[in-house]
Amino acid sequence: MNILILSAGTRNKIVQYFKKAVGDNGKIIATDCSSIAPAIYDADKYYIVPRITSDDYLDVILDICKNEKIDGLLSLIDPELSLMAENVDKFREIGTTVIGSSYEICERTLNKYEMYKWLCKNGYNCAKTYVDKNEFFADVDAGRASYPVFVKPICGSASIAISKVYDRETIELLFSHDSNLMIQEFLDGQEIGADCYIDMVSGELVSIFTKKKIVMRAGETDKAVSFKDEKLFELIDKFCKSFGFRGQIDIDIFDIDGEYYISEVNPRFGGGYPHAYECGVDHMKLIVNNLKSVANEKTIGNYDEGVYMMKYNEIKTRKMQG
């Protein structure tokens, strides 16, 4: 069982967990465009590859899959998810399974305004969102909207270029430099993260781990505590089924006065997933089973509440050649 992890970056724990899952029965290969991406050095083997925007990037990844006899591959960054999903047939032809959701789903989750429209259409609570700043200003004048708000790229990830804004002048300034922005209502409530796995054989949601976020850093959960709520589990189950996800997903949710609001979804491993794993929620094992064409049984909520995650820095050193 050989698994390829693309754009490994600093996700050392993800690489380590996959190595435990395959044990002596396979190897974990990692890629990155940088030779100083620490996670690649936890893999059994690694490749330095071009940036995903390079014309030859896909061919490079296909060659790695052929040469290393890769059974399954996954990416850890949003911009690459659609590229892999779009070329799923090319990978299938060489015996490699792309672990994740379809191209259409990856594109919808990456485009935050399209995601907002889908949530509204399907009756889910979510933050009011505008792509027309004048429509937002009109709602402010009419008392239907208020500050502060978030201004963010319509397509973006890792909380890059997000601004919390308190006045019209700042919005005008931001939009004057970039028209590909949207304005999103500020949700004032408890932020929650959900790490979920939708079985790639049965299509069923088989695992959910939820945590209350305590501290965020650079768009990722830095400190959190595990909890359970059947109402939330039911909402997530309904949402995943209606959206059509497959594989690993990471959902951001807000609890506002007892009502749950879906914020964003990343159809990949999120930065806070190690919390789930250390609580016994092993999605790497579920992926390995699926690559063997084995469907997983449901284990939703099979973890302890009140377990805190506290991230801290680790150091990796390596002497480079040349």
Per-residue pLDDT of 120-167, as tens digits, reads 999 999 999 999 999 999 999 999 999 999 999 998 765 566 899 999
Please give the pLDDT value at position 314.
83
Q: How far apart are CA 128 and CA 211, in angstroms?
A: 24
At the top level of CATH, the class of 128-185 is alpha beta
Q: Where are the alpha helices (DSSP H) in 98-208?
A: 103-110, 112-121, 133-141, 168-177
The DSSP-derived string for 250-263 is EEEEEEETTEEEEE
C-alpha dist (Å) from residue 281 to 17, 160, 274, 276, 300 = 11, 29, 9, 5, 9
Q: How far apart are CA 274 and CA 315, in angstroms?
A: 17
Predicted TM-score (pTM) of this structure: 0.93
185's tokens: 């209502």
Among candidate residues 132, 135, 131, the one with its CA nearest the CA of residue 144: 135
Instruction: Give the residue, 315 or 100, on which the prediction is more confident.
Output: 100
Predicted confidence (pLDDT) per residue in 9-49, tens digit: 999 999 999 999 999 999 999 999 999 999 999 999 999 99
3-state secondary structure of 2: strand
Predicted confidence (pLDDT) per residue in 64-86, tens digit: 999 999 999 999 999 899 999 99
User: Where do you find CATH 3.30.470.20 in the chain?
Assistant: 188-310
In the predicted model, what is the mean pLDDT of residues 248-254?
Answer: 97
Q: Up-side HSE of residue 22: CA atoms within 13 Å toward CB?
A: 24
Among candidate residues 200, 191, 182, the one with its CA nearest the CA of residue 292: 200
Has domain 2-99 been given CATH number 3.40.50.20?
A: yes
Measured at the CA of 77, the angle between CA 31 and CA 165, to 5 degrees, comes to: 145
Q: How far apart are CA 164 and CA 231, in angstroms?
A: 30
User: Where do you find CATH 3.40.50.20 in the chain?
Assistant: 2-99
Q: Which value, to the nearest 10 degrees, does the dihedral of the CA atoms of residues 154, 9, 268, 300 take?
A: -130
Q: How many residues does the chain have?
A: 322
CB of 148 closer than 8 Å to CB of 166: yes
CB of 229 closer than 8 Å to CB of 211: no
Whether 118 has a pLDDT exceeding 90, the answer reads: yes
Q: What is the 3-state secondary structure (H, E, C) of 42-81?
A: HCCEEEECCCCCCCCHHHHHHHHHHHHCCCEEEECCHHHH
Please give the pLDDT value at position 318.
82
Which residue, chain included where needed, has tokens 């589990």?
233
In the predicted model, what is the mean pLDDT of residues 295-313?
Answer: 94
Please give the pLDDT value at position 179.
83
DSSP conformation class of 206: E
Q: How far apart are CA 211 and CA 275, in angstroms?
A: 8
At the top level of CATH, the class of 188-310 is alpha beta
Find how far residue 185's CA is from the centre of its chain: 22
Find how far residue 181's CA is from the centre of its chain: 21
CB of 45 closer than 8 Å to CB of 51: no
User: Where do you find CATH 3.30.1490.20 in the chain?
Assistant: 128-185
Neighbours of 25 (CB within 10 A): 9
Q: How far apart are CA 146 and CA 166, in angstroms?
A: 9
Q: Which helix (H) or strand (E) holds 28?
A: strand 27-32
